[in-house]
Amino acid sequence: MWAPPVFSCACAPRAYWRVLEIHATFSSPVSRPSPTSGISIPTPVPPNPPPVLPVLKRTIMSPVNADLRAGDPEVRPAFGRCVLSLNSGMAALDDQFAGKVLMVTINGDRPPVSPDDLVKALGIAHGIQISDLLVEVCPPPADFFVRFRTTFDCSRVFESSRRLFCDGALVSFDRWHPGWGSVPSELEFLTKLTFHGMPRRAWNSESMNELINDLGGELVSMFVPPDSWALTVMAWMKKPSTIPKVIGVEIPVQEPGLYYSSPPRPPRTTLGMYLYRVFVHVEEVVNPSIEVLPPPLVPGSVDDVHYRSQRQTFPVLLGTMDGTGPTPSRGGGHCFFGRRGRAGCLDVL
């Protein structure tokens, strides 16, 4: 007779790891004796008997253990992506490096070459003084990041690429540029985003640019808001479909003398944060890479669909998660039907 599966769950009490074991077993067909004739009559077997399932084990990490293993390589994701915006610090370093930096690669069998060895080799071959250059070990694909005091020294060393030897190894030089060591990428979608629930103190280009960076984009511009309810921006985005509908925005709690002293002194225990629940609406997505066909277009034709595919718009209703639904309640549970806007003569920040 086919018996129903038996499930049992065993959890180690208060352990760092909780193990959930699910046992599923099915009995095989058996013969049952007849109560009257004494003849063994086989019980009918289902046409497709369920298979015998193996023991399944799933490891669940408890919150306590997760805290203890914070930063452990085994619990960290293997890959991530972020966006950094151009800033004055990058521009300053670009100016310092332009024409004065070479990326150095040791070729051949790649013997162990130290920065001191390379400094000596450059001094012997080109007469460059140790005070006029700096050799630093760098990550692949190069071996050394070399800065020169003058563009003249940098240029004449570059001309000796694959002709200079250091400890018997052939050395090659490449000129540094801002994209050195990168691969091509792009932000494809020009996207109009509206945020509501964003703290009013964060309505500035620096804060919004950081937020857009975290979402995988680059801020283009900010619209002048009609009031303090919502803020609309334009941004280049990598994948608008992956933008969450609701995000948690955290801002450090400002403590006197903690963040603005020089140098900043670290917090004693933890860093206090304000956590805000912010709704994110995607109002419009434009893909400029799609070729726009000139009008007139026949409605419903392939050309018409191709034209409209460049620009997509979506409804937005503030106070809701996805831009649709009933009018949100504001203030004492009463629906808010007033017009958006402002009144008064104080300068708008």
Q: What is the mean pLDDT of residues 331-337?
A: 45
84-115 confidence digits (pLDDT tens): 999 899 999 999 999 999 999 999 888 899 99
pLDDT at 74 exceeding the cut of 70:
yes
If pLDDT is split at 50, 70 and 90, which confidence band does 178 have?
A: very high
Burial degree of 134 (CB within 10 A; 0-12, 13-18, 19+): middle
Mean pLDDT over the full length of the chain: 76
Radius of gyration of the chain (CA): 33
pLDDT at 29 exceeding the cut of 50:
no
Q: What is the mean pLDDT of residues 17-31?
A: 39
Instruction: Give me the count of residues in the chain.
Output: 349
Higher pLDDT, 266 or 298: 266
Distance CA 281, CA 198 (A): 12
292-324 confidence digits (pLDDT tens): 555 554 555 545 445 455 788 888 777 677 655
Number of H helices, E strands in the chain: 6, 15
* Residue of 294, 319, 322 whose CA lies nearest to 307: 294
pLDDT at 34 exceeding the cut of 50:
no
If pLDDT is split at 50, 70 and 90, which confidence band does 123 have?
A: very high
Lowest pLDDT segment from 91-100, 183-192, 254-263, 273-282? 254-263
If pLDDT is split at 50, 70 and 90, which confidence band does 70 have?
A: confident
What is the structure's pLDDT at 57? Answer: 47
Lowest pLDDT segment from 125-134, 149-158, 180-189, 247-256? 247-256
Higher pLDDT, 60 or 214: 214
pLDDT at 182 exceeding the cut of 80:
yes
The span from the first CA to the last CA of the chain, in angstroms, equals: 79
What is the structure's pLDDT at 148? Answer: 97
Distance CA 306, CA 293 (A): 8
pTM (predicted TM-score): 0.65
Q: The tokens 């006029």 sit on which residue?
A: 132
If pLDDT is split at 50, 70 and 90, which confidence band does 334 have?
A: very low
What is the structure's pLDDT at 75? Answer: 82
Lowest pLDDT segment from 49-58, 61-70, 181-190, 262-271? 49-58
Higher pLDDT, 35 or 276: 276
Percent of residues, the chain, with pLDDT higher than 70: 64
Distance CA 111, CA 119 (A): 16
Q: What is the mean pLDDT of residues 331-347?
A: 57
Distance CA 50, CA 17 (A): 32
199-220 confidence digits (pLDDT tens): 999 999 999 999 999 999 999 9
What is the structure's pLDDT at 328? Answer: 52
